[in-house]
């Protein structure tokens, strides 16, 4: 099959984009393209060249290991080449990799894989002579790198002398230098304050740090390092497997990632991969996949290398959290505060394991900053459960005759004129009767952290508003079963469940009610502070701005917002109606789940992490009890964690706690401590 002119042009375009991105990333240390985007474009080129081999040229990015190293440091040749890893993006590709190596070693039946987290940093090659660090080199192009030994000596997790009584004459260690997320964020904060350009991500920051000419700057930035490969050239006691190498590296004084696992099958590899797809969000550093290596060194040597990759290892990447797509339309969404948010409607794209068609554009200033237009190719990002957002426009791919986007002048829901308050970036609808504002308020009121009304989702809310059954939050508490049962796709049984959930919400504590009211800037944590310091709605509604500001954790912006909210007559009527309906507007110090009288200093200064499913307490209830006793609850295990509370089916946090010797409590032990 002969490639059409269109395909030939596409290949040329892909090569140009990838070469430009490679130069910016490897040589200039100034990436212009996200890793996930590069991977996708690389795969497109690879697929086209596979289909049309005549289009392969020597300068294609698929035909080279890497780009040239930068020239500010001395270039040196690696003692042992640093190969890249082949990527797999799903379990099917991983299985095909296994089939390939098994065809080369059909007689091998007994084998194992070592799985390690793929650290998002910069690869380093370290050389030790007679146990002393003599050279540290960047990866460069895999054959030649840059000698940055003086900078590497500042990394505390790289030993200057091996922890061995009789070290081998030559030791080669490979590993990854990286910046912990907290350190990265601090560096960017400092750069922003001093007017410097921000680093794009921790990997970019780690690479930039390693190439600093002043070693004092490197030392200040607190780089970290995980060792993952060991070479003892011509040594009789060389380890026989990857697992043995990791254990020896640890003995030598290196930090080795504790989250590794020895797997006997691809099924176990997949289990490890799936476990860390969720658990990696609790790590203090970034990982974008799992490195899978055949454990046996003799089998590795037998399989050898392709021109670019080892045949015995592969990187199984997690679904991209950044991806390119095309903007088909730009619409606006009206929220519960009246904020009008522009949204990009896009061609569907797979992102972080889900299909995404919409992404937030935040406000009109952000649209102008991006210069986003209908028809543009954009990069979208999704981190964790955050709503996807557009992070960059690829203006070089913009179609001709596109027009800059203009925000609407009138609300798309109620046709009221929109305003942009002075000093704010957000355009708003100020019509309190706007259906969109009411809809957002009801959804927020029913949300899990507010009144937690199960069954009152967006579809039911829309139907209640459409049928004129609800015109305010308080109207929920006067609904009758016949009214709910008459709604589309509702019956008597569903109506009874929803009515019971609405009735049960009257028992939710005062702090949740405050949060549910949707006062601007008042989140669930601030709502608890307000409830504790102003124990009735009357004391809160009559509080001055000064008394509100006097509460630790309540700043001027929150204080002004709360004060103004209670000055609005419609809000006063809403509170009065909710009081008549039986909602809680008084703070109670004790929990319904325990009769203990908690003192505010029981857990003062103590940090807790909760894992697994608790049998009698909901996780939020356990968190409330700990906080009432003066403690703090966080999501990730660290050296600063005092206790891990364990429920049924605990996750990876348990192993991390055991590694750090952090005390563990079951639910009963927690409740006993609360009684003391």
Q: What residues are labeled active site?
A: 118
Binding residues for Zn(2+), as ranges, are 411, 414, 429, 434
What SS3 state is found at 236?
coil
DSSP3 helix / strand / coil % (the chain, rounded to 5): 40, 20, 40
Structure tokens at 664: 């563990």
Taking each helix axis as running N to C, give the angle between helix 35-51 and helix 5-22, from 0 to 180 degrees, rounded to the nearest 10.
140
What SS3 state is found at 147?
strand
Task: Order the strands of the 132-138 sheet from edge to edge.
Answer: 132-138, 122-129, 170-178, 224-231
Binding residues for NAD(+), as ranges, are 35-39, 84-85, 116, 139, 176, 293, 317
Say which residues have a Cβ less than 8 Å from residue 508's Cβ, sequence separation at least 6.
450, 451, 452, 516, 583, 584
Closest CA to 321 of 276, 259, 376, 385: 385
Cα–Cα dist 264/92, whole Å: 18
The partner residues of 123 in beta bridges, in order of sequence, read 176
CB half-sphere exposure, 558, CA atoms < 13 A = 21
Distances, alpha carbon 321 to alpha carbons 18, 269, 350, 379, 391, in Å: 19, 22, 9, 10, 12
Closest CA to 79 of 121, 26, 126: 126
Say which residues have a Cβ less than 8 Å from residue 142's Cβ, sequence separation at least 6.
65, 66, 78, 81, 82, 83, 84
Q: Residue 277: in which H helix or E strand, if any?
A: helix 266-279
Cα–Cα dist 304/301, whole Å: 5
DSSP 467-514: TT--SSGGGGGG--HHHHHTSTT--HHHHHHHHHHHHHGGGS-HHHHH
Binding residues, as ranges, are 35-39, 84-85, 116, 139, 176, 293, 317, 411, 414, 429, 434
């Amino acid at each position: 099959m002969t490639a059409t002119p269109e395909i030939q042009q596409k290949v040329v375009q892909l090569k140009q984009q990838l070469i430009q991105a490679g130069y910016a990333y490897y040589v200039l240390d100034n990436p212009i393209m996200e890793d996930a985007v590069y991977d996708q474009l690389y795969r497109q080129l690879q697929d086209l060249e596979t289909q049309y081999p005549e289009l392969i040229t020597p300068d294609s990015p698929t035909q080279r290991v890497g780009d040239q190293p930068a020239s500010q440091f001395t270039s040196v040749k690696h003692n042992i080449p640093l190969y890249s890893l082949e990527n797999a993006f799903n379990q099917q590709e991983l299985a095909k990799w296994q089939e390939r190596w098994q065809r080369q070693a059909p007689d091998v039946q007994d084998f194992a894989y070592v799985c390690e987290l793929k650290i998002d940093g910069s690869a380093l090659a370290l050389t030790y002579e007679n146990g002393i660090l003599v050279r540290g080199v960047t990866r460069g192009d895999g054959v030649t790198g840059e000698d940055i030994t003086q900078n590497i000596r500042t990394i505390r997790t790289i030993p200057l002398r091996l922890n061995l009584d009789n070290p081998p004459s030559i030791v080669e260690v490979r590993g990854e230098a990286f910046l912990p997320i907290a350190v990265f964020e601090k560096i960017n904060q400092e750069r922003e304050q001093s007017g410097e350009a921000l680093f794009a991500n921790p990997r970019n920051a780690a690479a930039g740090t390693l190439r600093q000419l002043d070693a004092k700057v490197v030392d200040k930035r607190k780089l970290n390092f995980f060792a993952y490969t060991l070479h003892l050239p011509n040594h009789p006691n060389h380890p026989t497997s990857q697992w043995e190498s990791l254990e020896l590296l640890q003995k030598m004084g290196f930090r080795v990632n504790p989250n590794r696992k020895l797997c006997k099958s691809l099924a176990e590899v997949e289990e490890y991969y799936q476990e860390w797809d969720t658990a990696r969000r609790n790590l203090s550093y970034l990982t974008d996949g799992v490195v899978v290596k055949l454990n046996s060194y003799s089998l590795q040597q037998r399989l050898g290398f392709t021109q670019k990759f080892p045949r015995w290892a592969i990187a199984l990447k997690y679904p991209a959290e950044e991806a390119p797509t095309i903007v088909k339309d730009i619409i606006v969404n009206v929220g519960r505060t009246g904020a009008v948010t522009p949204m990009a409607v896009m061609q569907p794209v797979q992102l972080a394991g889900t299909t995404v068609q919409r992404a937030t554009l935040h406000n009109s200033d952000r649209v102008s900053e991006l210069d986003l237009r209908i028809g543009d190719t954009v990069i979208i990002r999704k981190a964790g459960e955050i709503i996807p957002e557009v992070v960059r426009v690829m203006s070089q791919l913009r179609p001709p005759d596109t027009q800059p986007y203009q925000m609407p002048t009138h609300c798309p829901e109620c046709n009221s004129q929109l305003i942009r308050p002075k000093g704010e970036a957000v355009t708003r609808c100020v019509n309190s009767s706007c259906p969109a504002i009411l809809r957002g308020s009801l959804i927020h009121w029913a949300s899990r952290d507010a009144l937690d009304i199960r069954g009152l989702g967006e579809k039911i809310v829309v139907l209640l508003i459409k049928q004129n059954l609800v015109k305010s939050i308080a109207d929920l508490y006067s609904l009758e079963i016949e009214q709910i049962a008459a709604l589309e796709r509702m019956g008597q049984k569903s109506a009874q469940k929803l009515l019971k959930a609405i009735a049960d919400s009257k028992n939710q504590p005062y702090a949740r009610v405050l949060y549910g009211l949707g006062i601007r800037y008042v989140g669930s944590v601030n709502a608890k502070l307000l409830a504790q310091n102003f124990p009735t709605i009357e004391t809160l509604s009559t509080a001055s701005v000064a008394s509100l500001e006097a509460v630790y954790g309540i700043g001027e912006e929150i204080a002004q917002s709360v004060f103004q909210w209670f000055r609005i007559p419609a809000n006063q009527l809403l509170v009065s109606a909710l009081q008549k309906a039986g909602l809680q507007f008084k703070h109670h110090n004790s929990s319904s789940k325990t009769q203990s009288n908690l003192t505010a200093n029981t857990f003062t200064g103590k940090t807790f992490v909760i894992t697994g499913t608790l049998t009698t307490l909901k996780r939020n209830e356990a968190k409330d009890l700990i906080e009432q006793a003066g403690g703090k609850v966080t999501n990730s295990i660290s050296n600063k964690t005092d206790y891990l509370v364990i429920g049924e089916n605990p996750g990876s946090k348990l192993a991390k706690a055991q590694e750090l010797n952090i005390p563990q409590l079951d639910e009963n032990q927690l409740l006993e401590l609360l009684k003391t």
